[in-house]
Amino acid sequence: MRSKFVFLVITIALFLASCSTKDDKEKRSSPNVVFIVVDDLRPQLNCYGSAEIKSPFIDQLSANTNMYLNAVANAPVCGASRASFLTGLRPSNNRFKSYDSRIDQDAPNVPTIGAWFKRNGYYTISNGKTTHEKLDAPESWSEPAWKAEEDWRDYQTIANKLIAKDNNGIAKSHEIGDSLLDTYADIKLITKSIADLKRMQNENQPFFIAVGIQKPHLPFNAPKKYWNMYLEKEILLADNRCQPKNSPKISMHNYGELRKYIDIPSNKNTALADSIQRKLKHGYFSCVSYIDNEIGRLISALKKMSLYKNTVIVLVGDHGWQLGEHNLWAKHCNYQTSLKVPLLIKAANQKQQQKVNAVVELIDLYPTLCELCGISKPKHLQGKSLVNLRTKNSNSTAFSKYKKGTTITTNAYSYTKWIAKKSKQQLGHMLYDLKNDPNENLSLINDSSYKETINYYSKKLDSIQNL
């Protein structure tokens, strides 16, 4: 009798052990996710065909990714854009309207991508600037969201710190960090994220780590070594520093975000001198090279820990940034310079690059990651999965919204219409032929041969205004 009992116990133990081993194996086989979102990053990178900015590590990563050549932000401002792609919902007249938009205020009952992955067995971590506000949608993360302690402007030189102390945190628009290689926030961010990878490496639970990189957001503060990568006198200024012909006045702004800094003329009617423009572009380029190095450090750690192969990696900018085009700086407008972003997605085990020319939206990220990780999609999503998107889809569209203006972007055209909120009257509109005029220098709004095209896109925008 005892021998039968012992045999039964051993059999049950072996069965449970086999089940546990099977479950653990299934957990480990689920792809991990590293979701890298970069503030104010425009697609001016080597892998996107631009030789001005040195970005060797992003270029190297792109070799194993789907590289989206026409990725469009749904909002040209950080808080609204992040709230949109983290929930998979478009901005509207009622939600995600400004830089400080919060998910827990505008869409409190909608599971974010972090919350959804958490529900589906992932350990979720937020490091750096993922949501605009650190404490927004805290249920998304398995542990409290983390940010470096520094003020978001991240001044590190004594001179700038002294000025900022007596000026509401604001000093110069840039900083050359001599002997400050390890003090900047994004370096601490990547160090923290690598430590989290080590912590999660041997766990039997897949992880989702969001890495919110702060630069190249103003002010352009970076270690000196990255400034030294460029000769300022060789930096070219934009060749279309004027308002596009036939465009409405409402399409323009006076880049108030930039004018807050003490070395920038505060008068909105004062143009920036060429020397200031070169310094700003120098600073932006330096910051991109700086964060490129940090991204390289993170990818290198994934490879050293043998995590790279089974990890889905996303690298995306939250919106674009003007560098003098149309005499505009910063974002906050409906031109493609504010809307187009770099987007790289590496699937687990992906080894080759696939360039995708179709227009895609950032709200497509949520359903795409669900499909890549074998997770069911929540019903509220408004985007589409990009997993099986054809590379030459000329019918794809993207919708973007900023204040009173809504833009539709296709491979052929961009059309924007501004509507007064109360009266519903049209305040202006513009149309650009992106194939023949990719820099949007001439609006075709007064060309009678485009009347049908304008009517078509106008009606299409009306159909989504109140979504």
Supply the residues annotated as catalytic: 78, 132
Q: Which amino acid belongs to residue 195?
A: A
Decide if 123 contacts 204 (C-beta within 8 A).
no
Measure the CA dihedral 400/401/406/407, to 10°.
-20
Residues contacting 220, CB < 8 A, separation 6+: 173, 174, 175, 280, 283, 284, 286, 287
Tokens of 145: 């969201």
State the CB neighbour count (10 A cutoff) for residue 307.
17
Tokens of 173: 């628009």
Residue whose entry in the numeric block shows the structure tokens 């900018």: 317
Decide if 312 contacts 347 (C-beta within 8 A).
yes
Residues contacting 141, CB < 8 A, separation 6+: 114, 118, 124, 125, 126
Alpha helices, DSSP H, located in 109-155: 113-119
Decide if 220 contacts 174 (C-beta within 8 A).
yes
Decide if 329 contacts 280 (C-beta within 8 A).
yes
Cα gap 399→407, rounded to integer Å: 6
- Give the single-character DSSP code of 315: E
Cα gap 196→145, rounded to integer Å: 12
Residues contacting 361, CB < 8 A, separation 6+: 71, 72, 74, 383, 398, 399
CA proximity to 342, closest of 93, 122, 40:
40
Q: Which amino acid belongs to residue 39?
A: D
